[in-house]
Structure 1
Amino acid sequence: MTTRSRARTAPAAAAVAALILLAGCTGDTDGSVRGTPGAAGLRDPYFPKLGNGGYDVRHYALTLAYDPRSGRLDATAEITARATQDLSAFNLDLTGLTVDRATVDGAPAAVNRAGNELTLRPREEIDRGREFRTTVAYSGVPEKITDGDGAGEGWLRTKDGALALGEPVGSMAWFPGNHHPSDKATYDITVTVPQGLRAFANGMRTSERTRNGRTTAVWHSPEPMASYLATVAVGRYETRTATTPSKVTVLSAADPSVAAASRALLDRIPELLEWAEENFGPYPFSSAGAIVEPAGDVGYALETQTRPVFPQSSFDLPTLVHELAHQWYGNSVSPATWRDMWLNESFATYAEWLYAEDFEDTPAQQSFEEAFAADVNWAFPPAEPPTAENLFDPPVYQRGAMVLHKIRQKVGDDTFYEILAGWPAKHRHGNASTDDFTAYVEDVAGEDLSGLWDVWLYGDGRPTSP
C-alpha cells in the first residue's frame, strides 16, 4: 500500500507543480491566458502589412558573413525590444532567407512563416513594458526586390561584392525586423568578408581586422535609425577621411573605378555640412560620409543614414546637397507613415534651391517658377500620392518644395528659417506626420494657413497663378 500510495502521490505532485509553472508562464494566478499576439502589420496607408505591433525595437545587433562568389549570407540578428502589450506571440518581417533557429531571452521560440511574416511564439508570455531579446539565425542568398517603379532594392550583388538598400521595403531582404519607419532603433552591424574586400555601413567604424583570410568590420550607430536607412556596402574601396568644422568625422568610400572622378566632390562634404548646419541646425549624427559606386551597381542615390549612397552617374553637387539635407529631413525626423514621404523630399529638394540661391545666383523664386511650369509636377497633391508606386514621383519632390516656398513667401524669411531649423530640432531622432508639420508651422507663424494647405498641399491641379 505504501508503494502504491507513493506511486499515486508522485504524479499528483508533478501535476500540481506543472499547474504552478503554467500559471507563472501566463502571468495570472488563475491560469488564464493574458497575452495576445502582436499585430502582423501596422496598417500603413501604402504598405499595410509592413511593420508589426506589440513591441518597440530599441536595438539591432546584426552579425553578417558574406561570400560574394556564392552570394550566400550567413547571419544572426539580435533584436532588443520593449513589449507595448502583453504578448503571447509577435511578428518580424523577413523575405527570402531561411530561418535556422530563433530564441527569445535565450529560450527556443517556435517560428511559423507565411510569406514575409515570421511569427515567433516565445516559451513564456512577455509582459507589457518588459524588455526582451530575440535572436534569429538565418541564411541563404538574399533577394533583390524590384519596386513598382522598376527600381531595385534589397541586397544588390555588385561585380565584387554587394550593396544593401532599403527604401521602402528592401531591408527585410537582409535582416528580420520591424520594418516600418515609425519604429527606429540603434544599430551595431558586424560584417565579415573575404580578405581583400572591405565592408562599410552606417555610423562609426569601431574596429576592422583581418584574420585567417577574412576581414571583419564593426559599425556602430548610436542614434536611432529607421530600418530602410540601414546599409551595407561590400567591395574594394578607396577611402577618404576628413573632419567638419563642428568636429564630425567624415568617412567616405568609392569604388576604385570611380574614385578619381569622385574625389573632389567627396572632399567638399565638410564645407557642405557647414553650410547645412547654418541653415538647418546642428548636424544630428556623430558621423558622416558617402559611398560612391559604379553606375552599373546601383541606379539611384539614397540617403542611407550618415553615409548616403550614389552611383557615379548622378554624383553631382545638387544630388550631394539633396542627400546630405536628408540627414536632417527624413533621417533625424523620419516619416510617421509612408504617406508623409513628401516631408523628406520637399525639404531635400528645397535645400538644392537654397544652395543654388546662396552660391549660384539662382533665386529660389526662379526654381519655384520652373517647377510650377512643369506639367509633370501636378499629377497629384504631394501629401496624397495615389499609390505606393507614386511615392517617388515628381510631385512629392518638386511640388513639395513649392509648398515650402509658399510658406516662405507667406511668413517671411526670418520665420521661414526658424521653421527650417526648428522642425528637425523638435522631432530630433523621432517621427512626425504631415499634420504635425502643418500644426508646427502655424504655431511658429502664429496664423491659420489652411488656405495655403488646401491649395498647395492637398489641392488637385495647378493653381491659376504661382
Structure 2
Amino acid sequence: MIRGSEVARRGRTTRRGGALKRQSLRAVIAACCASAVFAAPALAGAAGPGAPGAGDPYFPGYGNGGYDVSHYDLQLRYQPADDHLQGTATIVATATQDLTAFNLDFALTAKSVLVNGAPAQFSQNGLEMTVTPPDTLPEGEMATFVVEYEGTPSTADVNGFNPWVRTADGALAIGQPEISSWWFPGNDHPRDKATYDVAITVPDGTEAISNGVNTRRSSLAGWTTWNWRNTEPTATYLAFMAIGQYEIVGKTGAFGQPFITAYSDELGPLAGPAKASIERTPEVLDFLSGLFGEYPVSAQGGVVPSEGLNFALENQTRPTYSHLFFQDAANVSVVVHENAHQWFGDSVAVDTWRDIWLNEGFASYAEWLWSEAHGTGTTQELFDHYYNAHPADDPFWQVLPGDPGAENVFHEAVYDRGAMALHALRNVVGDEVMTDITRTWAAEHRDSTGTIEQFIALAEQKSGKQLDDVFNAWLFTPGKPAVNPATGVAASAARENVPAPPAVAEIDRAHAHLHEH
C-alpha cells in the first residue's frame, strides 16, 4: 500500500512499538509458534463465547475469536443519491471452540440474524456485534450466519473514524487496516481469509466493481446487478467495492487471465497517464513472476477513481490507485509496488499488523528490482541513495520496520528502510540464495499468513548462516546501520554527493502521498 492518511485507532487500545530484543532468535520463534492463536480458547470441554478481538499486538480489538470464516456471500443494493446501503451477508464459518456466542465486526445496523437457519439474538455496540445462537455451535462444526442489514455508511462514524468515501457519483469501500465493517459484517483481521461472492445492485448507468471476475451483469426495473467472484482466500481489508461512473474494460492479461480495468469517467486529462501506467500491469506481473514465482491469484487489473482517494491499495486481484499518482506523468513504479503486494501482503498476509514489513518492504524493493531491470538505477545505487538521503540524526532511523508500533505502521521507514533491509540481506546471502528465500516464502505461505520470525528462520535455513547482525541492525535497532559487511551495508553507501539514479524521481512521486497526513 502507498497511502496518505494516518492509520485509524477506532477507539481501541493500541500498543506503542519499541525495539524487539533478539538475544535469542530461536526463543522468539519458539514463543511465536507456541502462541499460534491470539485469543485464548475456552477451557477444554467448556463451551463459551468467542473472544471479541483477535488479540493483535497493535490492534487487539480487530477480528474475533471462536470461529474461522471460509466464504462471504454479499447481496447488496446501493443508492448513490442518498448513500443508502442494504445488504444480506451469508457467512460460512467453522467453530474453533464450543461456541455459545460470537462477535462480528460491523458498523451498520443489523435487522436480523439467522444461525443455521434459526433466529439468533444479537446486540451492537460500536464496531462489535455480539450474536447468541439458539444452540451451542460445537467445535469443528460448519455453520452459516445470515445477517440482513442497512445503513448510511458515510454517517456511521465509530469513535470519530469512518473510512467509507462517498463520491459525487457513488462510493469507495477501500482502506487499510480496516474498511469491511462499513459494508459487510465479518471477522476483520488478516488471519481470517475467505473467498467472496459479491452482487452489487445499483441504478442503471452506474458501474460497480469488486474483486475477482465479473460473472454476470443483469438489469431489472431500472437497476443493474454486478456479480463478482473472488476464488482465492482474501483478507477482509483487501475486499473492496467501487461504485460510480467508470469505463470498465475486460481483456486477457498475463498468463491468459482476465485483466479488468476501471477508469473513472471524470479523470479528464489524467486518464491518459493513468492508462499508460496501469495498462502495463500484465508486463509488470510477468516480470514479478520471474522473481517471486507463480502469480498467486486468478485475475488482475486496476481501478482509478477521480476523487476521494489519496493513496493506493493492493486490493486482491485489482489494485486501486488515487488519481493523484498520475498528475504529472505516467507512473509505473506505483503499479509495480501494488502488484508486488499480490504476493507479499495479499497471498501471504501479515499474521499480525506488527509484521507489516513483510508487505511494504517487499513491495518497495520490487520497485528497485524493476528499476534495475530497466536500466534506471541498480538496486545498490538505489540503496546508496536512500541510505544517504537520511543523515544519522534523522528520526527516520528511530522507526523500526520489524516493530514500528501502531502509530507508525505506514511510516516511510517501513517502506524505504524496509527495502534497504532486504537489499542488505541480499548482500549478505548472495543473489541465488536471496531468490530461493523469496520464492520459497511466497510458495510455502501462499493463501495464508506469515511472521517476521518465520521469515528470519527461513532465511537462516536457506543461507546456512546466522543472520542476527543483519536483521537486528535493519529491523530491530534504532539508529542508522554503519558500513559493515555483516549488516549488508556496502562501502559504496558511504559515498556522498552522488547523483540520484533516474528511477528516484518516479519512485519518490509514487511514495509522495505516504506523507500527506
Q: Could you tell me how far 1:422 is from its partner in structure 2?
A: 1.7
Q: Which amino acid aligns with 1:117?
A: E
Q: What's the CA shift string for 1:106-152, capped at 9, x where partnerless?
A: 1000002222111100011100000000011111101478999x9x8
1:149-160 equivalences in 2 (<5 Å): 154-160=163-169
Q: 1:256 corresponds to which residue?
A: 265
Q: Which amino acid aligns with 1:378?
A: W
Match for residue 327 of structure 1 among 325, 342, 346: 342
Please say if 1:127 is aligned against 2:138.
Answer: yes
Q: Which amino acid aligns with 2:142?
A: E
Please say if 1:394 is aligned against 2:394.
Answer: no
Of all paired residues, the percent bearing the same amino acid is 43
Q: Could you tell me how far 1:261 is from its partner in structure 2?
A: 3.8
Match for residue 229 of structure 1 among 232, 238, 244: 238
Q: Could you tell me how far 1:348 is from its partner in structure 2?
A: 0.2
Mapped contact 1:184–1:224 kept (Cα < 8 A): yes
Please say if 1:270 is aligned against 2:279.
Answer: no
**TM-score, normalised with respect to structure 1:** 0.89
Mapped contact 1:334–1:430 kept (Cα < 8 A): yes
Q: 1:409 corresponds to which residue?
A: 427
Mapped contact 2:127–2:158 kept (Cα < 8 A): no
Q: 1:343 corresponds to which residue?
A: 358
Q: Which amino acid aligns with 2:234?
A: M
Q: Could you tell me how far 1:241 is from its partner in structure 2?
A: 2.8
If you compute each CA radius of gyration, which structure gives the higher value, 1 or 2? 1
Q: What's the CA shift string for 1:66-116, capped at 9, x where partnerless?
A: 000111100111110000000000001112x11101010010000022221
Mapped contact 1:153–1:164 kept (Cα < 8 A): no
What is the alpha-carbon distance in structure 1 between the residues aligned to residue 354 and residue 442 of structure 2? 18
What is the alpha-carbon distance in structure 2 between the residues aligned to residue 85 and residue 332 of structure 1? 27
Match for residue 106 of structure 2 among 84, 94, 99: 94
Please say if 1:69 is aligned against 2:78.
Answer: no
Q: Could you tell me how far 1:463 is from its partner in structure 2?
A: 1.7
What is the alpha-carbon distance in structure 1 between the residues aligned to residue 409 and residue 156 of structure 2? 16
Q: What's the CA shift string for 1:157-199, capped at 9, x where partnerless?
A: 1110111013112221111110001110111111000000010
Please say if 1:289 is aligned against 2:301.
Answer: yes
Mapped contact 2:73–2:90 kept (Cα < 8 A): yes
Q: Which amino acid aligns with 1:302?
A: L
Q: 1:447 corresponds to which residue?
A: 465
Q: Which amino acid aligns with 1:337?
A: T
What is the alpha-carbon distance in structure 2 between the residues aligned to residue 412 and residue 380 of structure 1? 27
Mapped contact 2:234–2:316 kept (Cα < 8 A): yes
Q: 2:400 corresponds to which residue?
A: 381
Q: What's the CA shift string for 1:252-286, capped at 9, x where partnerless?
A: 10001223442222321111111111111111111
Please say if 1:365 is aligned against 2:380.
Answer: yes
Q: 2:125 corresponds to which residue?
A: 114
SS in 2 for 1:246: helix
Q: 1:48 corresponds to which residue?
A: 60
Cα 1:263–1:454, aligned 2, differ >3 Å: closer, same or farther?
Answer: closer
Mapped contact 1:244–1:273 kept (Cα < 8 A): no
* Gapped regions of structure 1 (runs ≥ 5): 1-32
Mapped contact 2:278–2:332 kept (Cα < 8 A): no
Q: Could you tell me how far 1:376 is from its partner in structure 2?
A: 5.3
What is the alpha-carbon distance in structure 2 between the residues aligned to residue 318 and residue 405 of structure 1? 18
Mapped contact 1:166–1:227 kept (Cα < 8 A): no
Please say if 1:60 is aligned against 2:78.
Answer: no
Q: Could you tell me how far 1:377 is from its partner in structure 2?
A: 3.4
Q: What's the CA shift string for 1:396-418, capped at 9, x where partnerless?
A: 11111111001100111111112
Indicate the RMSD between aligned Cα atoms, in angstroms: 1.8
Cα 1:411–1:145, aligned 2, differ >3 Å: closer, same or farther?
Answer: farther
What is the alpha-carbon distance in structure 2 between the residues aligned to residue 192 and residue 65 of structure 1? 5
Q: Which amino acid aligns with 2:134?
A: R
Match for residue 215 of structure 1 among 215, 224, 239: 224
Cα 1:304–1:283, aligned 2, differ >3 Å: closer, same or farther?
Answer: same
Q: Which amino acid aligns with 2:105?
A: D
Q: Which amino acid aligns with 1:55?
A: Y
Mapped contact 1:46–1:339 kept (Cα < 8 A): yes
Cα 1:289–1:218, aligned 2, differ >3 Å: closer, same or farther?
Answer: same
What is the alpha-carbon distance in structure 2 between the residues aligned to residue 204 and residue 160 of structure 1? 23
Q: Which amino acid aligns with 2:454?
A: D
Q: Which amino acid aligns with 1:436?
A: Q
What is the alpha-carbon distance in structure 1 between the residues aligned to residue 434 and residue 354 of structure 2? 24
What is the alpha-carbon distance in structure 2 between the residues aligned to residue 427 and residue 404 of structure 1? 18
Q: 1:10 corresponds to which residue?
A: none
Match for residue 438 of structure 2 among 413, 416, 420: 420
What is the alpha-carbon distance in structure 2 between the residues aligned to residue 376 and residue 307 of structure 1? 34
Q: Which amino acid aligns with 1:132?
A: A
Query: Across the two proteins, how many residue pairs are aligned to each other?
Result: 429
Q: 2:370 corresponds to which residue?
A: 355
Q: 2:514 corresponds to which residue?
A: none
Q: 2:474 corresponds to which residue?
A: 456
Q: Could you tell me how far 1:305 is from its partner in structure 2?
A: 0.6
What is the alpha-carbon distance in structure 1 between the residues aligned to residue 228 and residue 222 of structure 2? 20
Q: Could you tell me how far 1:436 is from its partner in structure 2?
A: 0.8
SS in 1 for 2:164: strand
Q: Which amino acid aligns with 2:366?
A: A
What is the alpha-carbon distance in structure 2 between the residues aligned to residue 377 and residue 417 of structure 1? 28
Higher strand proportion (structure 1 or 2): 1
Mapped contact 2:278–2:335 kept (Cα < 8 A): no
